[in-house]
Amino acid sequence: MKEPFLSAIPLITKIEDEGYEAYFVGGSVRDLLLGRDIADVDIATSATPQEIQAIFPKTIDVGVEHGTIVVLFSGKTYEVTTFRTEAEYKDCRRPSGVQFIRSLEEDLKRRDFTMNAIAMDKTGQFIDPFHGKQAIENRVIQTVGKAKERFSEDALRMMRAVRFFSQLNFKIETKTREALIQNAYLLKHISTERKLIEFEKLLAGKNHRNALGVLHETELYMYLPGMALYSEGLIRMIKYDTTGLSIEEMWAFLIYQLKINENEMSTFLKTWKLPVKKIKKIVQIVKWLKVRLKMDWTDESLYEAGLNTIFSTERAYNLLHNQEIDSRINHLLEQYEDLPIKQRSELKVTGNDLQEWFQKKPGPWIKEILDRIENAVIHRKVSNDNHSLREWLIKCNQN
Ligand code: ATP
Ligand code: MG
């Protein structure tokens, strides 16, 4: 066995010594079998949350009602979740309450896909009642049990199917795919927050073009925030391989392809419940992309956009023109570095200077003059030192 599993073995042993069962489960076991990088391991146990809290001195209660306790162990944190069933589902959503059980197999049975329903004990033996290993070998995404039922229990699983399709480039098993079409409309019951997580993972997956195609074919996209009107835009988006773009750049590219109006962009992103800061970044990129499509960068536009937006805009621009994503980035960096100033605070003049030079009380005139100075400095009409700026102002005033 290898890390990060290795470090967790003593934790499992400790739970076993107390008379309970504990296994590695879920994404980490799947990714181990796939040879993918593993961020952290999830552990499932027959011990209840209270029993886990009694065994380990340091725990954090992150969701006792769902059976999850974070255990601090040998300087690391582990999510330890009690075996559970989700007997009752309401409105196609995760149930609010869960029932703790002592059977591993029952716990595996409630999991979404066979590849995600494999447990591994501390010796590296697999417990795989639903043939998840086989599914991984055959590279298929298949629900545990009947797809139609599993998707109507929790409609988010449909989005998860398509995002795993994007990340892993597996096939979607026929019945599972049919159920996506039949049950797509149930996605309307799912919260935006949960959809967003899956959608961003989908966008970032290496098979994202085909995954967006599946969202379109199955009409799942119609039940994603603000997307119902954009059938054609989604088709346009599918033409582009956005690999290498940041998540903000991907959103900006999507908005551009959907042809969302300037004044509706924020609203669209708000319906996705994206954080305000992220929305601002995305809107800036789209705005500058539209400018960039009309003309090349100038000192003024480089200065106004700022380095991060310049890079993001240029990457989106390159992608639109089938050019290497980062081509010309170094050239733009040089051009940017060469600007006389990068922001207004770098001007070698202050409001106090102006009051003194003009012998006038403070007022809106200060901002007006600073605007003019800023503009002149960027256009290299005057160099940015206090003495030159003063001379320049005096000269301007005489004309
Ligand atoms: P990732 O590597 O992206 O985290 P993951 O498979 O670990 O993928 P998680 O959301 O972390 O996904 O969930 C952990 C495990 O919990 C899954 O592997 C699966 O067994 C189970 N699971 C998660 N969400 C659902 C769901 N909606 N329905 C059923 N089982 C689920
Ligand atoms: Mg996970």
Question: Probe ligand 1: pick from 41, 111, 162, max atoms within 8 Å of CB?
Answer: 111
Are the CB atoms for 347 and 366 separated by under 8 Å? no
> Which of the following CATH numbers is that of domain 344-398: 6.10.140.120, 1.10.10.60, 3.40.50.360, 1.10.246.80?
1.10.246.80
The whole-number pLDDT of residue 88 equals 64
Cα angle 72, 73, 75; round to 5: 85
Indicate whether residue 157 lines ligand 1 (CB < 6 A): yes
Q: Does the C-beta of 132 come closer than 6 Å to ligand 1?
A: no
Q: What pLDDT is recorded for position 94? A: 67
Specify the ligand 1 atom closest to the Cα of 157: 27
Spatial separation of the C-alpha atoms in residues 132 and 67, rounded to whole Å: 24
Rounded Cα–Cα distance for residues 361 and 109 (Å):
77
**Quick one: fold of 142-224?**
Hydrophobic Seed Protein (1.10.110)
Q: CA 45 to CA 333: how far, in whole Å?
A: 53
Question: Which residues make up the environment of ion ligand 2, defined by Cβ < 5 Å?
Answer: 27
Which fold would CATH assign to domain 238-339? Methane Monooxygenase Hydroxylase; Chain G, domain 1 (1.20.58)
Instruction: Check pocket membership of 111 for ligand 1, CB cut-off 6 A.
Output: yes
User: Which is nearest to 344 in space by CA: 374, 301, 367, 387?
Assistant: 374
Q: Name the residue of 112, 115, 201 to mutate for ligand 1: max ligand atoms within 8 A of Cβ.
A: 112
The response to whether residue 156 sits with its C-beta less than 6 Å from ligand 1 reads yes
- pLDDT tens, position by position, for the chain (399 residues)? 899 999 999 999 999 999 999 999 999 999 999 999 998 899 999 999 999 999 999 999 988 888 999 999 999 999 999 999 976 666 777 666 688 999 999 999 999 999 999 999 999 999 999 999 999 999 999 999 999 999 999 999 999 999 999 999 999 999 999 999 999 999 999 999 999 999 999 999 999 999 999 999 999 999 999 999 999 999 999 999 999 999 999 999 999 999 999 999 999 999 999 999 999 999 999 999 999 999 999 999 999 999 999 999 999 999 999 888 888 899 999 999 999 999 999 999 999 999 999 898 999 999 999 999 999 999 999 999 999 999 999 888 776
**Which superfamily, per CATH, for 1-138?**
Beta Polymerase, domain 2 (3.30.460.10)
State whether the beta carbon of 154 lies less than 6 angstroms from ligand 1. yes
Ligand 2 midpoint to CA 208 (Å) = 19
Range list of β-strands (E), the chain: 22-25, 42-45, 59-63, 68-73, 76-82, 84-85, 99-100, 119-120, 126-127, 140-141, 171-172
* Residue of 3, 27, 29 whose CA lies nearest to 127: 29
**DSSP codes joined into one string, 61-79:** EEEGGGTEEEEEETTEEEE
β-pairing verdict for 76-82 and 22-25: unpaired
Alpha-carbon distance of 363 to 353, in angstroms, equals 14
Give the residue extent of every domain in the chain: 1-138, 142-224, 238-339, 344-398
- Taking the C-alpha atoms of residue 331 and residue 70, their distance in angstroms, rounded to an integer, is 48
Nearest one of 45, 41, 50 to 15, comparing CA atoms: 45
- Tokens representing 218 are 């199955």
Query: 146: which 2 tokens?
Result: 């009947």
